[in-house]
A and B are shown apart, each in its own frame.
Chain A
Amino acid sequence: MANRPVLAPQLRRLRRELFSSPGDGVLSISLIVLIGLVAIGFLRWAFGQASWAVIQVNSTLFAVGRYPIEQQWRLWLLTALLAAATGLSWGLLRASPRPDRTGTLWPRHDRLAVVILVLGALWLPWALRLAALIQLRWWLVVALLVGCRWAAGRFAAVLPSALRRLVPLLWPALYLLGMVLISGGLGLVTVPPSEWGGLLLTLLAASFAILLCFPIGVMLALGRRSDLPLLRWGSVLYIEFIRGAPLITLLFLGQNILGFLLPGGLAPERIWRAAWVLTFFAAAYLAESVRSGLSAVPPGQFEAARSLGLSYGQTLQQVVLPQALRVALPAMVGQFISLLQDTTLLSLIGLLDLLGTARTVMANPAFLGKSAEVYLTLAVLFWCCCAALGLGSRALERRLDPHTIPSAT
């Protein structure tokens, strides 16, 4: 016993969990071998057989679709601004960390995230052999992000609190500015929506729908619980109608029927039509999530607030909705993620979102038979977007959790 080498706690834990009995050991080893074989096969394919030229040559198409090349500086500017804002918000959030219920702090994962981000940004543009100028731009964007994060963390303490309260307003302002930069106007050349595509279109449609479906969904949920019959039945009818129809039929309706109903020229661009359909569709589902949150708030809360003299609006705003939305948050984020993935249906109505672009690229005789590479790239891109949404929501949950205590103020 005594001369047995003392295993590190991690190793001991590994042994306990994977090799506690002979049967366990056999199972573990065969699984490890299997996973290893799959991984080796995949790596051999990815670095040996796969030809990534299809991604490299079409990288602009995948990123922004047919957006005119001479106007693409606007998108780069927007990317840089987004990176700066992300770095700023990230750094400020980091400056006042909050432990979650288990007491672990965010920072450890945080530092890991920075390292992964920087390595990815250094390696990916190089691996894809993008043009030198574009590689440089990506590095600058990432440098800006990391720099802003560092600066915000460094100077957060000296920042006046009035200024810090303005930071969340940065995002809506940036969104509006982004819309102007993308579509033109205010002295910029107009780029018609029919020329937007790829990741740009996917993110635009998804963010538009996510932002707008939230207020509509909350109002529908409140409407469904209202005492006014017209409001209640209106909300029920809307929610049940939308939930009873598949998204693709609604998209087809929006694309093909509006032209019959409205005289020529009055119907909005079809990208906006599709974005509105996504919004209205998601709102119906979101309303039910919010309603579940509202049901979780005990009626006593509402009555207590009212008896304290708060108005209906104040009660909702100060007492009921904060609790309800906290309960509904995980379900809502799940819907946002599925909404992001639902945007791939836009390819079926002839829009060139990420999937639509991918199909178009794969139809080009120069890239026939390259579907594995293209679909894998798409999967990675979507995974990144969904992971970002998921991470953001978990951070938000932690912020809203009443059991976390601000560590320092």
Chain B
Amino acid sequence: MRLPARFRNQLPLRCGACHWRTLISALSLTLLSAALAAFADEGAGSGGVASPRLAAIQSRGRLICGTNGQLPGFSVLEPDGRYEGLDVDLCRALAAVVLGDAAKLELRPVSTNDRFASLASGEVDVLSRNTTLSLTRDAPGGNAISFAPITYYDAGGVMAPRREGVRSLAGLAGRTVCVVSGSTNEAVMADRMRLLGLAYTPLRFQNADQTFSAYQSGRCSAVTSDRAGLAARRSLFPDPQAHELLPETLSKEPMAMATQQADPVWSDAVRWIVYAVMQAEEWGITRANVATRLKEARANPDAAELRRFFGVEGDLGRQLGLPDDFTYRAVAAVGNYGEIIDRNVGLRSSLRLERGLNQLWSRGGLIVAPPFR
């Protein structure tokens, strides 16, 4: 910072009232140059690939991740003060890669309304907040957000007690359905039933608690919400087995992490860290065996694919502005995609959701990582 000194020399020695203007303009110029210098500093990235956001995270020593904080399975606060969930684990993977420590992470709860503003203003580095990908959010003329790969395919669904004998949407004709008033599920359900030409009676409630207690007390034959949410509620019923999710999906809700479009290098880094945990599942690399797999790759010069993936060979990481062992760091921190899903929303969690669409492409799902080369 040489500028302020120069300005100090220009300042009048006797600073009477007549010189206030000079003083103020000098001060504001100093401030401006300091701000510009700060921006210039941010521009200097690591190793050729420049990302202001990556540099800012590294100089801050902490990744700031915008989350929901109130959605079971995705991000929820445990009594011991730890956040758990799918969204949270993905943030941990990012922190592990960029800062080398999954704990160097600030999870910042952001509300539905100000999530995009907090991303655009740079308050959060990345949004991992069960955000549905859509055209307006992606488009430069819309929210100008860059979406990472879809990490969870959710969908609107319907749950009914088994004893009602409802096996599909058609079985709901003439029945009553509990729904949260003003939710997208309410509108989507109405649209679908109109399309099918089925009459039904929606019973609307202010919030999810009321809706589900009405459903449990038998005031309606079915209840509609997001499938993950339905499963979460069902897991708390005294007899979860007595209720089933209807096979139909009412709406598609593909969810992904999001970054600012203005920093494509950072967006790419996030994208490929997500792909890395997906690829790890495809190759059977888990949190438990990732160290031995890396050793194998080092020892075996013929395992070219694995060597490239782990950064033993080539410079995949450096091309992204990340360390070459970024895939290892991510998997060692949170495990592969399948492990993350199982732990938070899958059969080993309290939600007990089937993988469904969130299965690898090789097993009939939609999760696919492009080649690492």
Could you list which residues of chain A lie within 8 angstroms of chain B, going by C-beta atoms?
A: 57-58, 60-61, 65-69, 192, 194, 252, 255-260, 263-266, 270, 348-352, 356-357, 359-361, 363-366, 368-369, 371
Contact = CB atoms under 8 A, between A and B. Distances in A.
Contacts of A265: 38, 56, 60
5 contacts: A57-B79, A264-B56, A350-B111, A363-B69, A364-B76
A128 B110 CA distance: 31
A256 B60 CA distance: 20
Contact of A259 (B71, B111, B121, B232): B121
Contacts of A257: 121
Nearest to A259: B121
Contacts of A57: 79
Given A256-B121, A264-B38, A363 B71 contact: yes
Given A260-B121, A364-B72, A58 B79 contact: yes
A265 B70 CA distance: 27
A66 B77 CA distance: 9
A67 B213 CA distance: 34
B236 interface: yes
Interface string B92-112: 000000000000001011110
B118 interface: yes
A66 B106 CA distance: 11
Contacts of A369: 209, 212-213, 236
* Consensus secondary structure, chain B interface: mixed
Interface string B215-251: 0000000000000000011011000000000000000
B81 A360 contact: no
Given A252-B114, A260-B121, A264-B42, A61 B56 contact: no
A350 B110 contact: yes
A194 B35 contact: no
Contact of B77 (A348, A349, A360): A360
A181 B161 CA distance: 54
A368 B81 contact: no
B123 A256 contact: yes
Nearest to A348: B111
B114 A363 contact: no
B109 A368 contact: no
B209 A65 contact: no
B351 to A, nearest CB: 7
A266 B350 contact: no
Given A255-B114, A256-B117, A259-B118, 4 more contacts: A263-B38, A360-B69, A360-B77, A363-B72
Contacts of A360: 69-70, 76-77, 109
B49 to A, nearest CB: 19
A356 B72 contact: no
Nearest to A364: B76
Contacts of B111: 348-350
Contacts of B123: 255-256, 259, 270
Nearest to B73: A365
B122 interface: yes
Q: Which 8 A-B pairs have the closest CB atoms?
A: A259-B121, A363-B70, A66-B81, A365-B72, A256-B117, A350-B109, A360-B77, A57-B79
Contacts of A351: 109
A3 to B, nearest CB: 61
A352 to B, nearest CB: 7
